[in-house]
């Protein structure tokens, strides 16, 4: 039982995670240079782009980087009825599993 839990721990030094991270950052930098935008100007977009790219690479391990695509709320929370909200929450839970 303890071995199963230990196998699921995230470690950068296992496999080629570091190389993939560097490759994802380099790809994002190339895209920003193509658009003539500063690579470090928007850290939130940078982190999100790298997280999505890593999530696509490691789809079999969704707990590490989350889902490749995050589904936005259909409307502001105060305008969503209870049925839609429950469906949205259930969809999000199924993605995390």
Reply yes or no on whether the pLDDT at 9 is more than 80.
no
- Contact between 24 and 53 (Cβ < 8 Å): yes
Residues 21-33: tens digit of each pLDDT: 999 999 999 999 9
The Cα–Cα gap between 86 and 74 comes to 12
Tell me the mean pLDDT in the region 56-76. Answer: 74
Tell me the mean pLDDT in the region 45-51. Answer: 91
Structure tokens at 12: 């950068």
- Contact between 39 and 29 (Cβ < 8 Å): yes
> Domain residues of the chain, as ranges?
13-66, 71-97
Q: How confident is the model at residue 94 (pLDDT cuts 50, 70, 90)?
A: low
**Which among 89, 29, 33 has a CA at the least distance from the CA of 53?**
29
The per-residue pLDDT for 58 is 85
Number of H helices, E strands in the chain: 5, 0
């Amino acid at each position: 039982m303890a071995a199963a839990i230990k196998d699921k721990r995230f470690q950068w030094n296992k496999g080629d995670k570091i190389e993939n991270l560097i490759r994802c950052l380099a790809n994002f930098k190339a895209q920003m240079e193509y658009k003539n935008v500063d690579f470090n100007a928007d850290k939130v977009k940078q982190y999100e782009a790298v997280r999505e790219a890593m999530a696509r690479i490691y789809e079999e391990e969704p707990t590490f980087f989350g889902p490749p695509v995050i589904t936005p709320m259909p409307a502001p929370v105060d305008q969503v009825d209870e049925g839609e909200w429950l469906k949205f929450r259930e969809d999000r839970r199924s993605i995390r599993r």
